Amino acid sequence: MKNISSDEAKVEDEDEKEKHGELLSLPPHGSEVYIGGIPLDASTEDLKTFCESIGEVTEVRIMKGKDSTENKGFAFVTFRSVELASKAIDELNNTEFKGKKIKCSTSQAKHRLFIGNVPRSWKEEDLRKVVTEIGPGVTSIELVKDMKNTNNNRGFAFIDYYNHACAEYSRQKMMNPKFKLGDNAPTVSWADPKNADSSASSQVKAVYVKNLPKDVTQDQLKKLFEHHGKITKVVLPPAKSGQEKNRIGFVHFVERSSAMKALKNTERYELSGQVLECSLAKPQSDQKSGGSNTQKSGLLPSYPPNVGYGLVGGAYGGFGAGYGAAGLAQHMVYGRGPTPSGMAMMPMFLPDGRIGYVLQQPGVQPQTPPPSHHRGGSRNSGGGSGGSRNGGSSSKGRHSNDSGHGQGRRYRPY
């Protein structure tokens, strides 16, 4: 009986290896695109032929209604690589397919799992050993630490997989009641935001870089990435006190395809002996989506979301015609021209989800925005002395075109 059991185990092991190989042979995460606005009579072959002008297409899924031969007007197309998908977004968006203009953007295919009820004493290597045995394609593990007791974790983690198929395979395995993390029965679910804005994320052309050395320069960072494509801007926010050895930066490319090339699995970046961690900068819509605070903090965990909105010294701007000009500790929206001496660039989120930057004196703590006025608030307060102008509508302070006092225009990186 033991021999039979041993033989069965070997066969099962071989089947698992074969299945793992099949999953890893599928295209990686980021290879699928959404195509909207297709004709209702378009066929799978029509769309595949159209998309093959970009490169190898592995799958076409045209969405159809129940009991209907007509499609819903949109489809999902999977290319062989992330580079081809990025090229498709650049070249197929707003082109014509069978007489209709189509939209092409990234598809929000799920590839990230949330794992709860992790033993608090576990380290990342403990969790990695278990999840890599259960399924293939683990690309990264984020075991969230307990800030009050750094020897422990907070009981949950996020796991990224090579593609959706690998993540789904592991998810099903982990949901088996027999699967345990030590003595704990884990909770497993998709970690991807439910309301991610695919059109916004598909326009991001910036790479977020962390773990930079404290003495890194913009030129060093530019030289490290410029072989992927033309760079429009490199931003290095000043390091927070105590975190000088782990700085962050942003590299903005002209083309999204260049940013995607920079994030290929084969790319590895190192400066002054430190291995850099890179990811695609996220639009604000991803920060607002449901999920853990760790996910929400994503891109800029240490900077308040309201920095730069209406904090420039009242309705007429921090440096407009002398109104509020003395308040250098306040934030100034940065437009064109050289950076004033003694000021440093700080990242912020714009209302439309893009990333902008404000100038701030190093060491100055961001101020809390003043409470906004009600829509029906009196406008009479704007007509007295210069000091009373600050009592005007807060919306005026957010639009440089509302006054003729020479306020700089907001920089829009995308």
Radius of gyration of the chain (CA): 25
CA atoms of 231 and 289, how far apart (whole Å):
30
Are 409 and 373 found together in one domain? yes
Q: What is the dihedral of CA 317, 322, 323, 328, to 10 degrees?
A: 70
In DSSP notation, 348-379 reads EE-TTS-EEEEEE-TTPPPPPPPPPPPTT--S
Exposure on the CB side of residue 383, measured as CA atoms within 13 A: 3
Asked whether residue 174 is domain-assigned, the answer is yes
Q: What is the pLDDT of residue 365?
A: 54
Shared domain for 372 and 353, answered yes or no, is yes
Distance in angstroms (rounded) separating the CA atoms of residues 9 and 21 = 18
Choose one of 190, 221, 242: the last residue of a domain.
190
Query: What's 384's DSSP letter?
Result: S
Are 259 and 181 part of one and the same domain?
no
DSSP letter for each residue of 212-235: E-TT--HHHHHHHHGGGS-EEEEE
pLDDT confidence bin for 381, thresholds 50/70/90: very low
Q: Is residue 16 part of a domain?
A: no
3-class secondary structure, 280 = strand
Task: Give residue 63's domain range.
Answer: 32-106
In the numeric block, which tokens belong to residue 54? 């970009």
Asked if residue 21 belongs to a domain, the reply is no
What are 129-177's pLDDT values in tens digits?
A: 999 999 999 999 999 888 888 889 999 999 999 999 999 999 999 999 9
Q: Which of 66-75, 95-104, 332-341, 371-380 has the lowest mean pLDDT?
A: 371-380
- Reply yes or no on whether the pLDDT at 4 is more than 70: no
Q: Tell me, yes or no, whether 211 and 257 share the same domain.
A: yes
DSSP letter at 383? G
- What pLDDT is recorded for position 255? 86
Residue range 309-316: average pLDDT?
37
Q: Which one of 158, 190, 222 terminates a domain?
A: 190
pLDDT value for 272: 84
> In the prediction, which pLDDT does 290 show?
44
**Residue 352: pLDDT over 90:** no
What are the pLDDT digits (tens) for 210-226? 888 888 899 999 999 99
Could you say which of 53, 87, 106 is where a domain stops? 106
Quick one: pLDDT at residue 321?
38
Co-location of 314 and 410 in the same domain: yes
Does 130 share its domain with 37?
no
Residue 196 lies inside a defined structural domain of this protein: no
Work out the average pLDDT over 300-313: 39
Contacts 24+ apart (CB under 8 A), 395-399: 395/310, 396/315, 396/316, 397/310, 397/312, 397/314, 397/315, 397/316, 397/317, 398/309, 398/310
pLDDT for the residue 14: 83
311/412 same-domain check: yes
Does residue 23 lie within any of the structural domains?
no
Does residue 8 lie in a domain region? no
Same domain, 321 and 412: yes
pLDDT computed for residue 8 by the predictor: 63
Find out whether 321 and 312 touch, Cβ atoms under 8 Å.
Answer: no
Same-domain status, 259 and 157: no
For residue 404, what pLDDT is reported? Answer: 42
User: pLDDT class for 38, splitting at 50, 70, 90?
Assistant: very high
Q: Are strands 206-212 and 332-333 parallel, antiparallel or unpaired?
A: unpaired
**Rounded Cα–Cα distance for residues 92 and 214 (Å):** 41
pLDDT tens digits for range 178-205: 999 999 999 999 986 544 444 566 678 8
Regarding whether 347 and 405 lie in a shared domain, the answer is yes
Say whether both 240 and 160 belong to one domain.
Answer: no
298 within some domain: no
Same domain, 307 and 410: yes
Rounded Cα gap, residues 408 and 84, in angstroms: 39
Range of lowest pLDDT (73-77, 365-369, 393-397) = 393-397
Residue 27 domain flag: no
pLDDT score, position 366: 52
The CATH number linked to 227 is 3.30.70.330
Q: Are 161 and 250 in contact (CB under 8 A)?
A: no
At residue 285, the pLDDT reads 53
pLDDT at 295 over 80: no
Q: Which residues contact 371 (CB under 8 A, 6 or more apart)?
A: none
Residue 96 DSSP one-character state: E
Task: Give the per-residue pLDDT at 129.
Answer: 95
Is residue 364 pLDDT above 70, yes or no? no
Number of domains forming the structure of the chain = 4
